[in-house]
Structure formats: C-alpha cells, structure tokens
C-alpha cells in the first residue's frame, strides 16, 4: 500500500465517521468541514438527483436528508471497504424512518479524497428503501 | 499491494470483462464460468430484489437482464475501480433500451473473489435509470 493510499483511507474513514454521526444526529458540521469548496456529489433520486456542485449545495442536501429522516438514520453495519490511491468505497446498511415510514437500505458511497479533504462523493442504492 | 489483492484484482477484471461482454451481447457463458457454485448476488429491485443464492439463479437472472435490454446494454465508461484483498468495486455508466425505452444509469457493482472465481456480487444503482 503506498503512502498515498494510506492517507486516502485515513481521511475517508474520518469522513465516514463524521458522515455516520451526521446521519444519526443531524449534526453535519464536522463532515462539512472535511469537504473541499469545490466538492461535488451525485445522488440517485429526488430533487438532488444527478450531479450537484459546491459545498453550500452539500450543506443544503445533508440538512434535507436529516429533515426527511428526523435526524435518525442509523448505519447498522459496514459490509465492505475498498480503496485505491484517491477513492474509497463504503458498502453499508442503514435503517430509520423516512417521512415517518420504515426505511431500510443497502448503500454504497464512494468518496474521492484530495490531500486531507473529501472532494467528491457518489451515492448508490442497493434497494428501494423498503427493505434491504 | 499484497499478492492476494493483486490476484483479486486480476480475477475481478477478468470477470468484469466477461460481465461487460454479457451485457452487450447476451452471451453469459464466460461470466457464468467464473462464478463459484455457491455464488450469491444482491440486486436492487424487481423480481430479483434482495439476496439470490446459487449459480443457476445467476444464470436465470442474467438471461432475464439480456431479455429486458434486448442483449444490448452497453457500459459506456468505467469511472472508478477500488479494491481490497477480497473485494473489487467497479463504478461505471451504462446505456441501452429497457423494454424498448431509453435507459441510462450510473452503477456500482462489488465482486467478492475467492481463489480464481467470483463468489459474490452486489449491485447498486446511482440513478433511476431514466438518466444518469
């Protein structure tokens, strides 16, 4: 493993911890502080479907997620972590209530790392959210 | 990179090439030959939603995919490949016609490798299939 991929993994793990905290509590500051100003993210559906650009857009998005899940979307297990020099993918399961309805999903998120920040994020759904 | 992760990457790349060929042509034999007998796969929706067990089930599934896409689902770009000792994730885009309707998606698939075979597969969708 090169130095670069070690750093990438370290930063991504810190980011994932802050992301997990954000989903579980609605407190996104630590995660947002890890993002570059030119951060981009892709989301599978709804009003943020497709490519979204900028840290401000990310802030709005994660607040929207926490509203939808009443700040209680819990990552119940992390199934796999894979990486290369610049990117780390987390496969996990989450569970909560979306707009009051039971929600469970299998999810893959892919973080791109630049130096000590996360500069990109792609989310993929392994289910329809009704069960995993 | 350990010997193990090198072999895992090599096998997964071969599998992904055969998978790409299967999607583009409906010819799945090469890919199916790479699967262990106890192969399992997870799919996001439809009649194969959730966990599916066994190589025979995989054969039925991939034939069903090729029917739905008239044996012409094209992988247009591979965006990222990440890996560890046992698992390789491919993030890619694909495009075709599903039941005759234009279809585009961003997809992540995760292969688990055991020796020179693929023993597991998890698929995740980055979009609703109507655009990426």
**CATH class of the structural domain B3-125:** alpha beta
Query: Does ipTM exceed 0.85?
Result: yes
The secondary structure of residue A14, as a DSSP letter, is H
| pTM, to two decimals | 0.96
Interface contact flag, A127 B45, Cβ < 8 Å:
yes
Chain B residue with CA closest to A87: the answer is B82
Residues β-bridged to residue A9: none
Which of A45, A81, A82 is closest, CB to CB, to B128? A45
Closest by Cα among B72, B59, B64 to B25: B72
Domain boundaries, chain A: 3-125
- Look at A126 and B122 and tell me if their CB atoms are within 8 Å: yes
Using CA atoms, how far apart are residues A48 and A65, in angstroms rounded to an integer?
10
Picking from A50, A87, A108, the nearest residue to B124 by CB comes out as: A108
A113: distance to nearest CA of chain B, Å? 13
pLDDT tens track of chain A, all 132 residues?
A: 566 899 999 999 999 999 999 999 999 999 999 999 999 999 999 999 999 999 999 999 999 999 999 999 999 999 999 999 999 999 999 999 999 999 999 999 999 999 999 999 999 999 988 877
């Amino acid at each position: 493993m090169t130095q670069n991929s070690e750093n990438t993994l370290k930063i991504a793990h810190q980011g994932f911890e802050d992301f997990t905290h954000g989903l579980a509590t609605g407190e996104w500051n630590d995660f947002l502080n890890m993002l570059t100003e030119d951060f981009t993210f892709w989301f599978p559906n709804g009003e943020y479907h497709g490519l979204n650009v900028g840290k401000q857009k990310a802030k709005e998005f994660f607040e929207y997620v926490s509203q939808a899940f009443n700040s209680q979307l819990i990552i119940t297990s992390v199934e796999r972590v894979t990486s290369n020099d610049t990117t780390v993918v987390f496969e996990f399961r989450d569970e909560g209530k979306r707009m009051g309805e039971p929600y469970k999903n299998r999810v893959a998120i892919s973080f791109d790392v630049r130096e000590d920040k996360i500069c990109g994020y792609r989310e993929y759904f392994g289910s329809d959210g009704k069960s995993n």
